[in-house]
Amino acid sequence: MNLLTVMLQAQGGADYSFLIMMVAIFAIMYFFMIRPQNKKQKEIANFRKTLEIGQSVITAGGIYGKVKELEDNAVVVEIAPSVKIKVDRNSIYADAQAQVNK
């Protein structure tokens, strides 16, 4: 308690540098961390809305396949000839063709 009192007295009353630094740190975090993550989440959500039959996709578990059927909350993905799995639409991560071309 005594150390805190001494530090507050030594700092003075009208020093706004601490406040300015905190605002700058928050702005840096927003522009380098929060904003790009929100942008990526919107892109993935838009991709999930525009899924089409026959499109190559990657699931969140890393399974490559082609979309065979679309339902409200699920997608049937063919991962091998005559092997189909039903996955949640939210677990579709990316377009496989776009990932191969990177």
34-43, pLDDT tens digit by residue? 999 999 999 9
Q: What is the pTM of this model?
A: 0.65
Sheet harboring 83-88: ordered strands across? 83-88, 74-80, 64-70, 56-59, 92-95
Per-residue pLDDT tens for 49-92? 999 999 999 998 999 999 999 998 999 999 999 999 999 999 99
Distance of alpha carbon 14 from alpha carbon 68, whole angstroms: 66
Q: Are strands 64-70 and 74-80 parallel, antiparallel or unpaired?
A: antiparallel
- The residues, ordered by sequence, that sit 6+ positions from 29 with a Cβ below 8 Å of its Cβ are none
Question: In the predicted model, is pLDDT for residue 47 greater than 70?
Answer: yes
